């Protein structure tokens, strides 16, 4: 689809863009984002090697494993579904945007995957080397409009790729997949901005209806999705990599909570944190703030460790990140208490509407 045709699917809120910084300001920002080391872990994060025997046992309810950032493995009614799989670094060059640590299991250690779902074509969500691993397998790919060309260029056969625009759906082996709106952008280079679509996803089985936000700023689409397609049993929502310079395309934690309320979902699982440093906040800040707001609003929150199997009977909510929270009180490394209700867009969620 052409860029002009995709215009019908662009963001519902006007993109305010990044304030002009000038050459010196731009170089400073690049240095801060890509080369600062005081925001990332200084030791290995706790992880649990997945018990795939347990993960693959038949169940009528969702099981999932979080591998960090937005990479998720679902077992839904016997179907293994991999979302935004990135098992390498999140950059076209090896020395930028490195993982905090290697994956808890390599791609070779995963069970057979029937379907891979991609939210958009940014490097921290669409990884060429991960896609190429599945080139000779029977795995199907569900992607937003236009993203399929990347996969075809990397050797994935066209009949294995399904491209969907917002509100389009497909059913595979009894599981319904629907692409839904998001407030973001796309592009992997200097000259392809917004040439492909971005999306959130609704994945529906017999017992569970799951919402995955992909990347998105806060906007009216969350209420619309909740009204049209909710309620949801699980909402996997981005809560990290935000900054005042790009308020339209990533949510602050309090906006994540508001979006969760808008969606009419039962359980919140924060994603888009815990593996890559793509902004200027400390890596623990998104989960500390999200946890604080969830407690304040009595929202069920699931916070598994890397690799931990989550099922209907096991909803981990331990604050495993707490030992990593910086103790000194500064702008770059604020204390836990200072992160609960910072003075940002709105001091706390505004609640049901």
Which of the residues in the chain have pLDDT under 50?
1-8, 16-21, 329-347
pLDDT in tens, 164-177: 999 999 999 999 99
DSSP tag of 301 = B
Instruction: Write a three-state SS string for 160-229.
Output: HEEEECCCCEEEECCEEEEEECCCCCCCCCCCCCCCCCCCEEEEECCCCEEEECCCCCCCCHHHHHHHHH
Q: What is the pLDDT of residue 95?
A: 57
Q: What is the pLDDT of residue 132?
A: 97
Q: What is the pLDDT of residue 17?
A: 47
Q: List, in order of start, the domains of the chain with CATH numbers.
A: 58-339 (3.60.15.10)
Q: What is the pLDDT of residue 1?
A: 44
pLDDT in tens, 281-319: 999 999 999 999 999 999 999 999 999 999 988 888 889
> Which residue spans within the chain are E strands per DSSP?
63-66, 72-76, 79-83, 115-117, 140-144, 161-164, 169-172, 175-180, 200-204, 209-212, 232-238, 265-271, 309-310
Three-state DSSP at 314 gives: strand
The pTM assigned to this predicted structure is 0.89
Q: Which residue has the tokens 């099981």?
A: 63
Three-state DSSP at 315 gives: coil
Q: What is the pLDDT of residue 9?
A: 52
């Amino acid at each position: 689809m052409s860029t002009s045709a995709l215009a019908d699917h662009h963001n519902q809120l006007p993109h305010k863009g990044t304030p002009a910084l000038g050459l010196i300001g731009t170089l400073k920002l690049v240095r801060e984002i890509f080369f600062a080391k005081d925001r990332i872990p200084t030791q290995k994060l706790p992880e649990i090697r997945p018990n795939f025997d347990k993960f693959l046992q038949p169940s009528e309810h969702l099981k999932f494993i979080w591998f960090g950032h937005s990479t998720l493995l679902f077992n839904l009614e016997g179907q293994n579904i991999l979302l935004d799989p990135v098992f390498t670094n999140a950059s076209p060059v090896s020395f930028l945007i490195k993982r905090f640590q290697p994956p808890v299991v390599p791609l070779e250690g995963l069970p057979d995957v029937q379907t891979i779902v991609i939210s958009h074509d940014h490097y921290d969500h669409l990884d060429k080397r991960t896609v190429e691993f599945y080139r000779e397998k029977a795995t199907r790919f569900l992607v937003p409009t236009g993203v399929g060309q990347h996969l075809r260029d990397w050797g994935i056969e066209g009949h294995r790729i399904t491209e969907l625009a917002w509100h389009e759906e497909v059913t595979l082996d009894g599981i319904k997949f629907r692409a839904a709106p998001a407030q973001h952008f796309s592009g992997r280079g200097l000259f392809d901005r917004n040439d492909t679509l971005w999306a959130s996803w609704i994945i529906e089985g017999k017992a569970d209806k799951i919402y995955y936000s992909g990347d998105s700023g806060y906007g009216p689409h969350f209420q619309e999705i909740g009204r049209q397609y909710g309620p949801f049993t699980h909402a996997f929502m981005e809560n990290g990599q935000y900054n005042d310079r790009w308020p339209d395309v990533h949510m602050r934690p309090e906006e994540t909570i508001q979006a969760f309320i808008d969606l009419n979902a039962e359980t919140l699982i924060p994603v888009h944190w815990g593996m890559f440093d793509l902004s200027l906040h400390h890596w623990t800040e998104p989960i500390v703030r999200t946890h604080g707001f969830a407690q304040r609003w009595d929202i069920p929150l699931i916070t598994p460790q890397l690799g931990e199997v989550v099922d209907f009977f096991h909803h981990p909510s331990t604050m495993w990140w707490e030992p990593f929270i910086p103790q000194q009180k500064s702008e770059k490394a604020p204390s836990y208490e200072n992160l609960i209700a910072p003075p940002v867009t709105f001091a706390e969620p505004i609640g049901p509407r």
